[in-house]
């Protein structure tokens, strides 16, 4: 079942936590809500799940207007950060719990519990208590419990944040597999851009209660609509260079940048760390640190007190303290308006 939000406004007192959020989530897709702390991700999820009531705007599940309904009336599966399994119950009892509440026939419920336990690959652990499971296993039980009642919609709020890095990566792949296998429409909240990039069909990037961009992972990386999106997506963060320009040309050190918007006197140039190259003429920088990342080396460079990040091949050897002249690769930089910070063009 698809989800549609129309001009959703959520207020806490006078504070607008969501400011006219309009969003369409297609049936069977996994969409991530991504953004910094306080941007309104959880508020969006809680409002969709009926826990918060919107001040104005509409929520549709398919064609059904569900605005203002209570969580129990919505039949959605919810998974939260602290997986909140009942510690005194076994895994089996945890998964059966929502079905008992819904007064499922006992044999049917047992059958369903085993079915979802198999989907999340926890069927050999059914008689254990949560404390006897690893964090990743507990998380999968929480997902099984949410899936048990066959929801059309699964909402997950930072479900992996209690797990260590390796388990996070494994569990997010599991979530994606389960989501595809069951065909459930899923909204996945995270503040981790890499996590969002790796599992989503679409990413919804939020800031201050408003949507900045909705795009596929590759598109949001390649075509950010503004400086905020460009800086939030990608690691290391995009470099930004403030340029003064005249007639579409800007000169810093011996670097001449052309094809800038002719009607602007100031722009911001965004350059990803992989899009700088060593040059004869360019920005004169000093190498501050060299970090070995494995396949690549990450240089931190100082240019008149401003730090830039540059990724180079692992065979590129340079000492800290050395001088390095660099320039952005042609056609790879992003030009943003200095005032509105909106994307203008590439150059
Ligand atoms: N119950 C509440 N009462 C008052 N203000 C709230 C309430 N819940 C959230 N807020 C405020 O609304 C804004 C959005 O909060 P929300 O929890 O949606 O952020 P978030 O994007 O999920 O952040 P995080 O990544 O930290 O979880 C914040 O400024 C927060 O302080
Ligand atoms: Mg949150």
Tokens 């209690």 sit at which residue?
162
User: CB neighbours (10 Å) of residue 91?
Assistant: 27
* Ligand 1 site, residue 39, Cβ cutoff 6 A: yes
C-alpha 9 – ligand 1 centre gap (Å): 14
Residue 332 has what pLDDT? Answer: 96
> Best of 11, 17, 158 to mutate for ligand 1, by most ligand atoms within 8 A of CB?
17
Is the bond preceding 124 in cis, omega lying within 30 degrees of 0? no
* Ligand 1 site, residue 14, Cβ cutoff 6 A: no
Pick from 155, 187, 170: nearest CA to 79: 155
Residue 160 has what pLDDT? Answer: 85
C-alpha 158 – ligand 2 centre gap (Å): 7
Alpha-carbon gap, residue 75 to 273, rounded angstroms: 45
Pick from 224, 344, 237, 267: nearest CA to 214: 224
Fold of 236-346: OB fold (Dihydrolipoamide Acetyltransferase, E2P) (2.40.50)
Q: Which ligand is nearest to the CA of 52?
A: 1
Residue 43 CB-density burial (10 A; 0-12 exposed, 13-18 middle, 19+ buried): buried
* Ligand 1 site, residue 47, Cβ cutoff 6 A: no
Blockwise average pLDDT, block size 10, the chain, 347 residues: 97 97 97 97 96 97 96 89 84 95 94 91 94 88 90 91 81 90 94 95 98 98 98 96 95 93 96 97 96 94 97 94 96 97 96
C-alpha 145 – ligand 1 centre gap (Å): 26
Residue 331, classed as helix, strand or coil, is coil
Which sequence spans correspond to the domains of the chain? 3-231, 236-346
* Ligand 1 site, residue 236, Cβ cutoff 6 A: no
- Which ligand 1 atom lies nearest to the CA of residue 13? 4
Contact partners, residue 37, CB within 8 Å, separation at least 6: 191
* Ligand 1 site, residue 17, Cβ cutoff 6 A: yes
Q: Which ligand is nearest to the CA of 40?
A: 1
Contact partners, residue 269, CB within 8 Å, separation at least 6: 240, 241, 242, 243, 257, 328, 333, 334, 335, 336, 347
Residue 83 has what pLDDT? Answer: 61
Q: Report the CATH number of the 3-231 domain.
A: 3.40.50.300
User: CB neighbours (10 Å) of residue 18?
Assistant: 26
């Amino acid at each position: 079942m698809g989800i549609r939000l129309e001009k959703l406004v959520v207020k806490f007192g006078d504070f607008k936590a969501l400011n006219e959020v309009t969003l369409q989530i297609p049936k069977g897709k996994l969409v991530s809500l991504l953004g910094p702390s306080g941007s309104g991700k959880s508020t969006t999820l809680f409002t969709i799940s009926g826990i918060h009531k919107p001040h104005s705007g509409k929520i549709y599940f398919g064609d059904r207007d569900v605005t203002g309904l209570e969580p129990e009336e919505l039949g959605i599966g919810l998974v939260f950060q602290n997986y909140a399994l009942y510690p005194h119950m076994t895994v089996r009892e945890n998964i059966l719990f929502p079905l008992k509440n819904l007064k499922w026939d006992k044999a049917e419920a047992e059958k369903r519990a085993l079915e979802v336990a198999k989907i999340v690959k926890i069927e050999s652990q059914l008689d254990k208590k949560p404390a006897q499971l690893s964090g990743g296993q507990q998380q999968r039980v929480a997902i099984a419990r949410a899936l048990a009642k066959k929801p059309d919609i699964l909402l997950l709020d930072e479900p992996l944040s209690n797990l260590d890095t390796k388990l996070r990566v494994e569990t997010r792949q599991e979530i994606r597999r389960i989501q595809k296998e069951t065909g459930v429409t899923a909204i996945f909240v995270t503040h981790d851009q890499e996590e969002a990039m790796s599992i989503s069909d679409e990413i919804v990037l939020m800031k201050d209660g408003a949507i900045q961009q909705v795009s596929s992972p590759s598109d949001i990386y390649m075509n950010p609509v503004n400086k905020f999106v460009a800086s939030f997506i990608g690691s290391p963060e995009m470099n930004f260079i403030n340029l003064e320009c005249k007639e579409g040309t800007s000169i810093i050190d011996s670097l001449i940048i052309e094809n800038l918007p002719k009607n602007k006197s100031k722009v911001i140039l965004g350059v990803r760390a992989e899009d700088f190259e060593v040059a004869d003429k360019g920005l004169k920088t000093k190498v501050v640190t060299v970090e070995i990342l494995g396949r690549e080396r990450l240089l931190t460079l100082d240019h008149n007190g401003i730090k830039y990040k540059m990724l180079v091949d692992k065979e590129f050897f340079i000492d800290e303290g050395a001088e390095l002249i660099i320039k952005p690769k042609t056609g790879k930089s992003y030009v943003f308006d200095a005032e509105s910070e909106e994307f203008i063009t590439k150059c």
